[in-house]
Chain A
Amino acid sequence: MKNNPPFRKLQGFAFDPITSLDLDTADINRITYKVPWEDLQPGPEGKYIRVIDRDPASNAIYKPVDLNAPHILATDGLTPSEANPQFHQQMVYAVVMTTIKNFEKALGRQVTWSPAEKIVEGKKVYEYVDKLLVYPHALREQNAYYSPDRKALLFGYYNATPANASLCLPGGIVYGCLSHDIVAHETTHALLDGMYSRFMETTHPDVPAFHEGFADLVALLQHFMYPEIVRNQIRKVRGDLDSETLLSQLAVEFGLSTGDYGALRSGIGRYNGKEWVRYAPNTTDYDTVMECHSRGSLLVAAVFDAFLAIYKNRTADLLRIATGGTGVLPQGELHPDLVNRLAQEACKSASHVLNMCIRALDYCPPVDINFGDYLRALITADKELVADDDQNYRVAFINAFRKRGIFPEGVPNLSVETLCYQTVPDTAYKDWFNEHTGEFLREFKGQLSYVTDRKKIFDITAAFIRGDKEKNIKGLHSYLFDTDGRAVNHTVMENLTGLVFSDQYKDLGIGQSRTYKKGPAIEIHSLRIHSRTGPDGNLQNQIIMTLAQRCRVAAIKNGGTATFAPIPTGKKAPNDADSFTFRGGCTLILNLDNLSLQHAISKPIFDPAALTQRGTRKLRLNTRRLQMQYRCGYGDLMDDMGFAPNYQDQVEPLACIHNLKNKNNDW
């Protein structure tokens, strides 16, 4: 076996080319990305991504860089240069891989891209996508996006049009693919889509905002991976990360080159035209800010605030030691040792926060996420892995969200205990999740144990979901339906998941299962193994299963609101009504060690509150969620959110919401 080095070192910009033009930051902007070693083809093309440098607007193809060439290996990759497209390929590879690795580290498993939807012989099938394609010079506009259709990242380049020439060269060419933040942002979109493809649907103002905010968040926190940068910035602001630093800003060059006086977005503050001001959190923000980027910024600001609180908490003792107990820093430069220690703490806090944020994704509902759900996911995920929160991370998060008016629905008060998803009592699930089902899932885990090939993992998972006669695998669906084709334990399952299992599915416009002709269609989106070791050495041995269900609904306008009626399969919506797909979904977290169902995190398709317990169990559609989806797609929120209705039907959904600065000066 070959003895490969652990890392491939690649030079690159820490932020973007413009940061090299500032004397204070010129030194630190060139960093060396340490990407886990993998065999690479020219492109670069590795296990996860393939960079294709086709530039259709110039009708050109740029020579692919071979990162294994001796002269490139010997110098830690090509020297940063805007004029060399091969360096662009190297930079984009380094940043995408860094982002992927951060996800894998936090999730404890290999990431996959969302499967490609294909129609084969009239049937919808989901095909495995091995590699994300990355096009560094795909567009000539101030834009970059992830294309969920093509599983590709497209980056643009354009002539700069700054507000004045001191900010950046007017007319100079700016490349999106050279900005760490833009690349990390788009990669995060792709990774998120790989986990939850339904987060592309606008069912709540928070859903697109979550996509945007989360992508910004990852880009921001990745700034703290490089101690030399953090040291430099901490020295500059004398340890006070609350003030303006490069670390808290996103896409500086993009902002300056498109007419802004500062970065495109920022975690903690921005220029109001004259000076830099710190954002002041406001409890009405959550109810009033609807445009998806601004709303996403609320999430970023909340998490960044939590991070700062954690950093301050962790460094309070250092400051006291350094100042003889007063905690008040003297004038002038800080001692280099203190800078060093502060930087260490900042890096450590950021890495913890980034891990928490990514880990929380496993605890999110598969559809219709809102910020409150995410806060609960954050707290639950962390509590489960880290029992003893001695640094009060969770309190820091709750506080930061509370200050922005982000309260999860249906919790009696705000505390770690109430925000944490409750453990499901075993009486509620034993009829379904028992030795029988448990054995099947243990078998699944056993088969995956020593598989590292992502395609094989995908295939095995698909076989266990759908069943595979050749391999003698029954398929998870057979644990939901009996031999008659009826759902088993339907009341239990309905109460657990918020999805419809009983015969009432016909009344609610839910389709019939293709295989089990007497039961409703239930989609199993994913089945993921989850084994992680916490800081206390505790091992988590879980399986995460996401289920979803959909129905067609007609909305009949009624003043400012609407009333909803399910459209039975095969029927058409009334002519004067808007019709759309409405989904429910549920994430089940199953513990394989003691065969317990830990959490059922659900977005019910029916209204659990309207269930009458007396005799008849008449299910009704979840009007509360429907109403919100209607407002986003057809009602009053449509314009506020900043994109066209039915944006999930748009060809490039993220392109149109990213294209926020498309002024044209090409005259």
Chain B
Amino acid sequence: MTGNVDNIKIRMYNTGSVGDCILLLFCKDTDISFSMLIDCGGIKTSADAINPCVSDIAATCKHQLDLLIVTHQHEDHISGFNLARALFDQITVKETWMSWVEDPTDPIAGVVKDKFGKRLRQLQEQTERAQAHLQRYAKQTSDALGFGKRYAQHQASLDAIKEQLEFEAGDTASDRGARAANGTPAPTAKNAAAKTARAATAAASTVTKGLTNNDAMEYVRKKGRTIAYRLPGEVIKNLPGAEGIKFYILGPPRDPDLSFLKIEMDTDEMYQLALGTVPTPVPPTQRLTASGITLRPQSSPFDAGHQLSGKEEAAFWRQYGSDEMKWRQIELDWVGTGDVSLALTRFVNNTSLAMALEFEDSGRVVLLPADAQSGNWMSWHKPDVSDTLKTNGGKDTNELLAATVFYKVGHHGSHNGTASHSGLDLVTSPSLVAFMPLVQDKVPLAWGGAANFPAEQLYGALIEKTKGRVVRTDVGLIDDPRAQRLRGLLPAADINAFTNAFRKGSCYVEYTINGK
């Protein structure tokens, strides 16, 4: 087959829960010339739910994918590679892409992993210290009033954090089994560190069939005949079968100091608060002065001279530490690092491989940001990304956003998964269509539950921008009254074009983007 790709069919699968599983079929006339899969997973989903999707993928691509992309290491994007492993085993993959963060030989990835590892270690140490503190405390104390309940609660929350941290550290299931069998203790901070250096950043999630996120990543890594780790600023063209399509790599931001990766929700970029804020904040890295004192663990904000010591301190403990006082002590209230480990998870979202595809013939753009959060979006506008795209023979970030006709909504429609000023605000195409990978009633409580998805402000903005052409995994074309009203106002030709391009399959929704 010669000539350029005529159209791209995008299938967004319903994996039974919140998650991404997106198949792109590049067609010349009616023949599929190139097939590509981005992610396959769902939060706490099952093999029963995901197998039909993978079977459909296998049948559609005739057991051969030209390109497999895994955007980042979170359960909702990769659990399918564990759950439907048998089906994936029957699919061959020509090439695999991951982000540069996953590249074991990349020096900056090493730095990022190292920093991430350090933070993880710090948290693990903090948790272990807190736990030791808790145990010491429990030993000293009798079943003083109210204490048992408090102890149990703290213990439970620490256990949960610990488990979450273990997953972030990429502990494999076999490791756990061996440990339990030998009765050896959990990895200490030191060997956990060694592990993090090797292993990638995993998500807080449940083990699926004894396989961890890390196993899924390793499986994908070996799946393709070749593997490429993509850098922001790259423009890839003329892939065999995908002639006429340019692949743009936008993120994750390649900054060794984590300045952009760390930004999980920039208030100015959030649809939730976008109405209330006007000035553009200066990123921390560009500030001239760093002010303020950061509280360090075990160090007091006051001068040492203010503290009790020696005899006075001993006298204090005789009173405060006495049995009669036990039930009124506050030794445990500060213990608890739950939100910090959540921040860790969001950090991993920011390591998403964010991409755009462009039809050379018409300049139309498909935007695929995976789970990028504010910092990732903002970094696309850095000169070393935007200008590099241009030098590499493509459009710059602003031009890409302006020409976007199809948007895979970032992070399942969360309030910080679509940036405003550096994202959706710059999308100006009148024929924009948005696909949101969301199964609302499966949104985990840790994310705020169904009530927070899709984020109301963002939903409104999307409906407005697309004139009602928003499609969700769970409901298909949305029947929100605002969307219905706006669709009703579209010219007949536009609404016909949309109706012809949109299709609802057994386990997916599909849209055909015309490239000519």
Residues of A whose CB lies within 8 Å of any CB of B are 52, 54-63, 83-86, 116-119, 133, 135, 138-141, 149-152, 154, 157-160, 163-165, 169-173, 259, 261, 272-274, 639, 651-652, 655, 662-664, 666-667
Contacts and interface: CB of A to CB of B under 8 A. Distances in A.
Interface string B151-195: 001000000000000000000000000000000000000000000
A177 B276 CA distance: 30
A265 to B, nearest CB: 17
B330 interface: yes
A121 to B, nearest CB: 14
A58 B298 contact: yes
Nearest to B262: A667
Given A138-B333, A140-B295, A149-B146, A61 B307 contact: yes
Given A84-B306, A152-B328, A664-B342, A59 B298 contact: yes
B275 A159 contact: no
A119 B146 CA distance: 10
Contacts of A652: 333
Contacts of B149: 149, 651
Interface stretch (B235-243, B286-294, B453-461): B286-294
A35 to B, nearest CB: 23
Nearest to B449: A639
Nearest to B336: A141
Given A61-B308, A170-B291, A133 B301 contact: no
Given A117-B145, A639-B451, A272 B276 contact: yes
A84 to B, nearest CB: 7
A116 B306 contact: no
Contact of B295 (A54, A84, A118, A159): A159
B481 interface: no
B292 A116 contact: no
Given A54-B330, A171-B293, A172-B291, A61 B316 contact: yes
A499 B387 CA distance: 78
A322 B312 CA distance: 62
A139 to B, nearest CB: 5
B317 to A, nearest CB: 8
A133 B273 CA distance: 39
A60 B300 contact: yes
A116 B145 contact: yes
Contacts of A84: 302, 306
A56 B146 contact: no
Contacts, number: 131
A173 B295 contact: yes
A154 B330 contact: yes
Interface in B290-334: 290-295, 297-303, 306-308, 312-313, 316, 320, 327-334
A63 B308 contact: yes
Contacts of A85: 302, 306
A158 B303 CA distance: 17
A651 B146 CA distance: 8
B371 to A, nearest CB: 18
Contacts of B316: 54, 61
B170 to A, nearest CB: 20
A139 B295 CA distance: 12
Contacts of B267: 163, 259
Contacts of A172: 291-293
B491 interface: no
B86 interface: no
A261 B279 CA distance: 13
25 contacts: A56-B333, A57-B297, A58-B301, A61-B308, A61-B316, A63-B307, A63-B308, A63-B312, A83-B303, A116-B145, A139-B334, A149-B149, A150-B146, A150-B328, A150-B329, A157-B301, A158-B295, A169-B291, A171-B292, A171-B294, A274-B278, A655-B333, A664-B342, A667-B119, A667-B347
B343 interface: yes
A62 B306 contact: yes
Contact of B300 (A55, A116, A169, A664): A55
A525 B303 CA distance: 47
B150 interface: yes
B92 to A, nearest CB: 41
B340 interface: yes
B295 A160 contact: no
A261 B276 contact: yes
A62 B308 CA distance: 6
Given A52-B320, A63-B306, A667-B347, A662 B339 contact: yes
Most chain B beta carbons < 10 A, residue from A55, A119, A158? A55
A651 B153 CA distance: 8
Contacts of A170: 291-292
Contacts of B342: 664
A261 B292 CA distance: 19
A473 to B, nearest CB: 28
B277 interface: yes
Contact of B327 (A57, A140, A150, A160): A150
A272 B273 CA distance: 11
Q: Which 3 A-B pairs have the closest CB atoms?
A: A171-B292, A273-B276, A58-B300
B3 interface: no
Contact of B299 (A58, A159, A664): A58
Contact of B293 (A173, A663, A666): A173
A666 B146 contact: no
Contacts of B292: 159-160, 169-173
Given A150-B329, A655-B333, 4 more contacts: A62-B306, A651-B150, A664-B340, A666-B343
B333 A154 contact: yes
Contacts of A164: 279, 281
Contacts of B303: 83
Contacts of A117: 145
Contacts of B291: 165, 169-172
A158 B292 CA distance: 11
Nearest to A149: B146
Contacts of B308: 61-63
Contacts of B333: 56, 138-139, 154, 652, 655
Nearest to A175: B301
Contact of A56 (B294, B299, B330): B330
A154 B332 CA distance: 12
A662 B339 CA distance: 8
Interface in B327-360: 327-334, 339-340, 342-343, 347
Contacts of B293: 159, 171-173
